[in-house]
Amino acid sequence: MKNIIIFLLVLGLAIQPAAALGQAEDFEPEDMTTFLIQVPHGVEGNGLAVGGSNLSAYVFFESYYEGNMNVTVELDFPEGFVLQDKTVHSFLLRTEYDDWYRLVDFYVPADLPSGTYNITATALVEVGEKQHTIVRKTRLKVASKEEVAEEIEVSGLTVPSDEDGYGDPSHPASTLVIRETSPALKKLLKVTDLKIDREELTSTYIGVELSNRGDSKVPVVITYDILDIKTGEPVKAFKPAIMGMDADTFCYATLTLDPESSSLVSLPLYISENAMGGEYLLRVKVKLTGSDWVAVTKDQKITAISRKWGPIIITLVSTLLGLTATGFFFSRPEQIMDRFKTRNLVLIALFGTVSFAAINLPMTILWELSHAIFGPFSFLFTGLFHEVLLYMLIASLVVLIPKPGVVSLFMLVRFLLGGFITGSFTPITFITMSLSAILLEGLMYAAGITGKNPNPENRFRMGIVCGIADMASGYASFSVWMVLYRLFYSDWYIMANILIDGFLYTFIGAWFGISLGNRLKKVAE
């Protein structure tokens, strides 16, 4: 029995090495390992560098072998390169998926001749009693600064952009919006010992499109500065210290440009509370990885805008006027309504209903359709309804009933119908309609169109009065939209709307409204 046990132990010890030896004999280096080298780090294939660069070569080795593997990796750099780390590394990988990597630093001398240099990494792999050799080669192109500058180009800048670098249509182009923090919020943060973190300081992004016209992969670092347009000095308010660190720590992007390709990246832009509105110069800089030399720059003039108090004041005044007029109406409803005969009220209600059916209802569909077809020039189409047709009805109604309050009641009917049928009970609708009614009432009364001795049939006077009132209410409407919905309009767009829609279309509508009113008067008589 004792002899049998001894025999089994000897047999077991003999079988185990034999099995391991059999597995080692089946070892295929290319199938059971991953061995790669990147020069510089992050570039697979032909990289690009300029003289005077400090770079790192990335070496990675991974085993798929279930057992011990002794590996010796040796790097062979061309003559002239200055190695700052050792070139031979030995290590032991014990299990499947065990790996090893190193960053090997080296320096490319500034006076190294331009050309393409081969770099070789050799791995000597020992598995059992077998040795295997794996070789990887890559090339690094060393180019002059003039050659690199010709290959790389900043082909586009988008300010502001979204997180992916594409344009942000909710903000005007080449414009930064300075977000002011409310003084009340500042006090609250101070009392509660809270701080504004980095994410809340993010204002927007800068989209940068880069092109590589060369045949090598180019690793680059993209940064930017915002300069005073007069002095050329960087403005720190647009790159403030964040969490005690310089903004350059955050405001950069790295990218590897493939040969003959373009890529888009975004850079975060932070704005401090001390930033001032005005004109600035955005300078985007592109450096090659490992070098502090700026290969390419691109400048673009940008505008920083802060809170505009004009629209805020106009919105507050318009709201106050609307609330005052509403309060006045509800405080004296009988005195106001008694000024009109029943047939006058019926006629006002009829005109209000017609305007709602002929203007509001069709525009619920045509508004979006016109925007899709005409884009920013859709107001040329929608103005035919909102201005020409509307003021035809208003002018003709005033010709029929030349009394103060007619326009207000007409607007009230439209507001109520729109609110109950289409659900347009919005603050903006209330503010713009009430302001328009107040302006029309006041100007018509002052011009003698309504009042004790009304004279509503002068076409030119009616057109001028309606045009001025609509221009003012139109500008106030833009202000309300900008304040309440944080929208931004180009100056040309506002001006075109006010002059064409606000005055020209309104003048035409009021002109023809006199004729319509006179004809209806003859019918009524």
Considering the domain architecture, whether residues 375 and 234 belong to the same structural domain is answered as: no
On whether residue 21 sits in a domain, the answer given is no
pLDDT, position 464: 94
N- to C-terminal Cα separation, the chain: 137
Instruction: Tell me, yes or no, whether 80 lies in a domain.
Output: yes
Q: Do 396 and 252 share a domain, yes or no? A: no
Contact in structure between 33 and 134 (CB atoms under 8 Å): yes
Looking at residue 192, which CATH number applies to its domain? 2.60.40.10
Q: Are residues 191 and 248 in the same domain?
A: yes
pLDDT given at position 102? 92
Instruction: Assess whether 477 and 423 both reside in one domain.
Output: yes
The reply to whether the predicted model has a pTM over 0.95 is: no
Distance CA 491, CA 305 (A): 13
Residue with tokens 């998926």: 97
Query: Does one domain contain both 252 and 383?
Result: no
Residues 295 and 356 reside in one and the same domain: no
Does residue 267 belong to any structural domain of this protein?
A: yes
Contacts of 415 (CB under 8 A, 6+ apart): 429, 430, 433
**Do residues 466 and 500 share a domain?**
yes
**How many distinct structural domains can be found in the chain?**
3
Which is nearest to 431 in space by CA: 324, 330, 320, 319?
Answer: 319
Residues (pLDDT < 50) of the chain are 10-22, 196-199
The residue from 264, 288, 305 where one domain ends is 305
What pLDDT digit, counting tens, does each position of 121-170 carry? 999 999 988 899 999 999 999 998 888 888 899 999 999 888 888 887 66
For residues 117 and 162, state if they share a domain.
no
Report phi then psi at 271, rounded to 5. Answer: -130, 130
pLDDT for 14 equals 47
DSSP string, 456-511: TT-HHHHHHHHHHHHHHHHHHHHHHHHHHH-----HHHHHHIIIIIIIIIHHHHHH
Last residue of a domain, one of 305, 324, 346: 305
In-domain check, residue 5: no
- Give the structural domain span for 505: 309-524
Whether residue 46 is contained in a domain is answered as yes
Task: Please report whether residue 381 resides in a domain.
Answer: yes
Each residue's pLDDT tens digit, 342-351: 888 999 999 9
pLDDT, position 157: 92
Same structural domain for residues 325 and 245? no
92 and 69 in a common domain: yes
Are 415 and 507 contained in the same domain? Answer: yes
